[in-house]
């Protein structure tokens, strides 16, 4: 999360890096054909929000990663702090990945804070 955030903040184009991070985070097949599981369940809520934010800021749209982040975020939405909720909502608004369920959960979580 910190690496892609740094590249996004600096405005350094690094599509290959962002692609590699997305593949690593979401799992899938390795070069040897082995199946890997998603690493997102091990991300902190800050890492989930920061990763989504960095991809949005860098204008890199990866629908598979976005949907995986949304699903993992929904499982833990009540543990996000206000800044993480705001950053996640902003990221999904910017990338245009339509996840109404996530926006509804963010709004609900914010109203309970």
93 pLDDT above the threshold of 90: yes
29 pLDDT above the threshold of 80: no
According to the model, what pLDDT value does residue 65 have?
96
82 vs 4, higher pLDDT = 82
Cα torsion angle, 37, 42, 79, 3, sign: negative
How do the domains of the chain map onto residue ranges? 2-111
Residues in the chain: 113
Banded pLDDT at 2 (limits 50, 70, 90): confident
Percent of the chain whose pLDDT exceeds 90: 65
């Amino acid at each position: 999360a910190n690496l892609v955030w740094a590249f996004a903040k600096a405005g350094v184009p690094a599509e290959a890096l962002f692609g590699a991070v997305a593949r690593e985070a979401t799992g899938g097949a390795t070069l040897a054909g082995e199946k890997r599981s998603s690493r997102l369940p091990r991300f902190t809520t800050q890492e989930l929000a920061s990763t989504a934010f960095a991809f949005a800021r860098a204008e890199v749209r990866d629908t598979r990663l976005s949907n995986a982040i949304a699903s993992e975020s929904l499982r833990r939405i009540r543990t996000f702090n206000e800044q993480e909720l705001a950053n996640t909502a902003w990221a999904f608004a910017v990338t245009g990945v339509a996840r109404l369920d996530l926006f509804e959960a963010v709004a609900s979580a914010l109203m309970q804070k």
